[in-house]
Amino acid sequence: MSDSFFTLAILYLYFQFFHKQESIPKAILLGVFGGLFIGFSNIIIIILTSIGIYGIISLIRSFSINRLLSYTFLGAIWLFSFFQYYTHFIKDHSNEQGMKNYWANFFAPIPTSFADLLWVPDNLWYFFRKWLGYHDSTWIPFLLLIIAIYLCFRKKQYRYLFLLLPMVIHVILSMFKLYPFDNKRLILYLAPLLITFISVGIYQLSAYFKYALLATILFTWIVTAKPRQEAEYWFNHKPRREHIRPVLNYISENIQNGDKIYIYYGSIRAFRFYKSWVGLDRYEGIEGFPEGIRPEKFVQQIEDMEGRTWILFSHMNDPNGIKYIEDIVADIGILDQHIGEGSKTYLVSFP
């Protein structure tokens, strides 16, 4: 959510504060804000690059020395801020390869086939369907998105295409394995841009009708119907809680001397917090490796297990890793188990 906030904030500052009346003092102030935002949101670099491209095109179309100096100051401050961020936080990062392994399935392929060309639309489809709540109505925003692109070219209103530029830059970075393009939280910042672009499409499409205002209201009602239903559902049905404490209490009441506890990596922080409270700090705890980042160590750790071990799960966001462990547990045989709310544990005796 913070990525979306900083995306909207810097775009508002650029178009409403700076672009309407460009000047060197405003450029410096906007540059400082953009530089600060880099420290709070990784994705803001893509937005600043998009603004830079838009600014260069705008400068070419309407050149003046004052505008050139304004954009020079603005670009210099942003480049300096990015250089500092890159030098201190990105360059030679110790977990770079681990993160590439974790996000391996979310780097866009360099298109060499028709299937590769469908990779981005497929991920966007999932994003609209799952994260924006359209489900079986995903074709509606997709159709409006295509119509909006077509009408922008037909009416030569190219400035609106700027809203899609961050997505294009993100995909290019993803092709070179510089930043993953997943279909979930890493592209959540695109939601307000895509929604705004679809709104442009609705506005342009409504202009073809005799009663344009009525058409706009109707199209808006249709395109927001499914997300409104989804929002209403989650307002009345609270998300599932992850309550690990009762499961830890069960382990504490039934654990025996010599037993070990394997902590699934999603449970590690909660276990560290509670272990002394429930009396489990005196037992050997084995903190699991993330399957997505360290797959070879994850597997090796499970294979090296010996003796009676309590397998503790919570924050279960990695279905492959969980299934791998549960398949092994089922083969060995479960001695005891306790299923809680968003958390569970199995007792097994590894050979």
* Phi, psi dihedral angles at 95 (to 5 degrees): -110, 20
- Is the pLDDT at 165 greater than 70, yes or no? yes
As a whole number, mean pLDDT of residues 175-203 equals: 89
Distance CA 193, CA 127 (A): 13
How is residue 117 written in tokens? 């060309």
In 3D space, the residue among 316, 282, 283, 322 whose CA is nearest the CA of residue 302 turns out to be 322
- Tell me the domain boundaries of the chain: 1-92, 96-239, 245-350
Answer yes or no: are the C-beta atoms of 335 and 349 closer than 8 Å.
Answer: yes
Greater pLDDT, 215 or 136: 215
Contact between 125 and 142 (Cβ < 8 Å): yes
Instruction: Give the angle subtended at the CA of 202 by the CAs of 198 and 207, to the nearest 5°.
Output: 150
pLDDT band at residue 240 under the 50/70/90 scheme: low
**Measured between alpha carbons, how far is 168 from 191 in angstroms, rounded to an integer?**
14
What pLDDT sits at residue 131?
79
Most confident of 22-31, 107-116, 148-157, 242-251: 22-31
The C-alpha atoms of residue 315 and residue 311 are separated, in whole angstroms, by 14
Q: What is the pLDDT of residue 336?
A: 92
Report angle CA 188, 189, 194 to the nearest 5 degrees.
90
Which pLDDT score, from 0 to 100, does residue 96 have?
75
pLDDT of residue 316: 67
- pLDDT given at position 293: 63
pLDDT at 231: 82
Listing DSSP states for 207-258 in one string gives TTSSSHHHHHHHHHHHHHHHHHHHHHHHHHSPPPP---HHHHHHHHHH--TT
Other residues' Cβ atoms within 10 Å of the Cβ of residue 158? 10
Percent of the chain with pLDDT over 70: 96
Average confidence (pLDDT) over 49-59: 94
Tell me the helices (H) and strands (E) count for the chain, helix number first: 15, 5
pLDDT range class, residue 49, cuts 50, 70, 90 = very high
- Spatial distance between the Cα atoms of 172 and 125, rounded to a whole number of angstroms: 19
When pLDDT is averaged across residues 190-194 and rounded to a whole number, the result is 92
The secondary structure element, H or E, covering residue 156 is none
In the prediction, which pLDDT does 297 show?
A: 81
Give pLDDT, residue 250: 93
Name which of 98-102, 284-288, 335-339 the model is least confident about. Answer: 98-102
d(CA 37, CA 10): 8
Per-residue pLDDT, 54: 94
Q: pLDDT higher for 147 or 319?
A: 147
pLDDT attached to residue 294: 66
Mean pLDDT, the chain, whole residue set = 88
**What are 132-141's contacts with CB under 8 Å, separation 24+?**
132/191, 132/227, 133/226, 133/227, 133/229, 133/230, 133/231, 134/226, 134/227, 135/226, 135/230, 137/225, 137/226, 140/222, 140/223, 140/226, 141/194, 141/198, 141/223
The mean per-residue pLDDT over the stretch 233-254 comes to 82
The two three-digit tokens of residue 199, written as one number: 């709104």
State pTM to two decimals: 0.73
Average pLDDT in the 275-284 region?
Answer: 89
pLDDT, tens only, 90-113: 887 777 777 777 777 789 999 888
Specify the DSSP element, H or E, that contains 318.
none
The enclosing H or E element of 205 equals helix 190-206
Residue 304 pLDDT > 90, yes or no? no
Chain mean position to CA 277: 34
pLDDT at residue 281 greater than cutoff 90: no
Which one-letter DSSP state was computed for residue 104? G
